[in-house]
Amino acid sequence: MTDTAAPATDRRAKRNVVVLVAAQAILGAQMPMIFTIGGLAGQSLAANICWATLPISLIVLGSMLTATPLAAFMQRFGRRAGFLVGITGGMVGASIGAIGLIMASFPIFLLGSLLTGIYMSAQGYYRFAAADTASAHFRPKAISYVMAGGLLSAIVGPQLVKVTAESMAVPFLGSYLAVIVLNLLGVGLFAFLDIPRPPVPAEDAPAARPRLELLRTPVIAVAIICATVAYALMNLVMTSTPLAVVGCGFETNDAANIVSAHVLAMYAPSFFTGHLINRFGTERIVGLGMVILAGAGAVALSGVELEHFFIALVLLGIGWNFGFIGATAMLARSHSPEERGRVQGMNDLIVFGGVTFASLSSGTLMNCTGGSAEAGWHLVNFAMLPFLVLAGGALIWLAMRPRTA
């Protein structure tokens, strides 16, 4: 794409970014809400506290299972149709979750969590949608601006938890009803989205590469590894945070404040992450993200006072931002338009597969291996190390390859 074509193209792209930022802000508020209360609600319903974080794990599992079919659906029917499917999943999942709370049924609550994963999967494609109509120069900024829309969700979500968690006789029921309302508010947003469906390839057009060949492409492989590590480690630690905070003697409101600070840190850097990527390159920004994630683990291991939780979770959010947005920008430049659905679906399948494993591991490490909340919290943070080594090694390997490779 030439520079002369960029202004006309980016007028449409900037319009789409506004819509996607609004969607990230309004609809996205449900995710910090559910991640704040999901483990606590699960702990109140589960017969064994080792399964306390299973609701959150099933949300991520639902996202993993629907990532590839949803990408194929968007490739055929367009982004708007796919995002409306996500809203439907969010509403249905929250409704069934509310029924599970009313009936005090852990299995029903888990079913609602699984269906909520449809929304989480759709939200993951907001960042790719931002890149669809953007020029090569504007693309990293478009991705980071859309991710910045999570700032409002970081404020609204936890504050809604404070207002709604104990607003009804059944704990957390009010929060799930609020999630239903958020999804209803988001329905009209996507009428303003202007992203054409991908063109049907001509018969003589080059075929999209097979998945195995795509995975053997160095840039794609490293982008997927780094995105998976950044997201999985963020989820590993964040999932256990409310349990650790409450388990160390603090209040649910303290946990909500810490999650709010964390989600703010996840999205606030997005206002300049795209500029940093354009100036320093994706690999350097991803590498910086991994270093900051390591710093988050070090702070968490140094103590369990409120300030330790706050600082560790803020660093965790910033590290995720640089690592995940950088990896997304790396991936977005590495495939042709006809490969978009295949690459993005494969990426999110692997990413959310890793996040599912991290979420399941989080509850086990936190509640069933340490003997106390503090010991469990330390095990969660120690578990980050081998995956940070993997991502760092992958980046070094990519940097050492000849430029032509």
Judge whether 206 lies within some domain. Answer: no
Q: What is the mean pLDDT of residues 10-14?
A: 86
Q: What is the mean pLDDT of residues 109-117?
A: 94
Judge whether 103 lies within some domain. Answer: yes
pLDDT of 1: 36
pLDDT bin (cut points 50, 70, 90) of residue 2 is very low
Q: How far apart are the C-alpha atoms of 111 and 109, rounded to whole Å?
A: 5
Are 83 and 92 in contact by the 8 Å Cβ rule? The answer is no
Pinpoint the alpha helices (H) of 27-138: 30-45, 54-77, 79-102, 106-124, 126-132
pLDDT at 388 over 70: yes
Judge whether 201 lies within some domain. Answer: no
At 315, which CATH number? 1.20.1250.20
Convert the pLDDT of each residue in 195-227 to its tens digit: 887 766 666 566 667 777 878 888 999 999 999
Judge whether 202 lies within some domain. Answer: no
Q: What is the pTM of this model?
A: 0.74
Convert the pLDDT of each residue in 178-202 to its tens digit: 999 999 988 888 889 888 877 666 6
Domain around 237:
8-193+211-400
Q: What is the mean pLDDT of residues 367-376?
A: 78
Judge whether 33 lies within some domain. Answer: yes
Q: What is the mean pLDDT of residues 85-93?
A: 95
pLDDT of 267: 81
Number of domains in the chain: 1
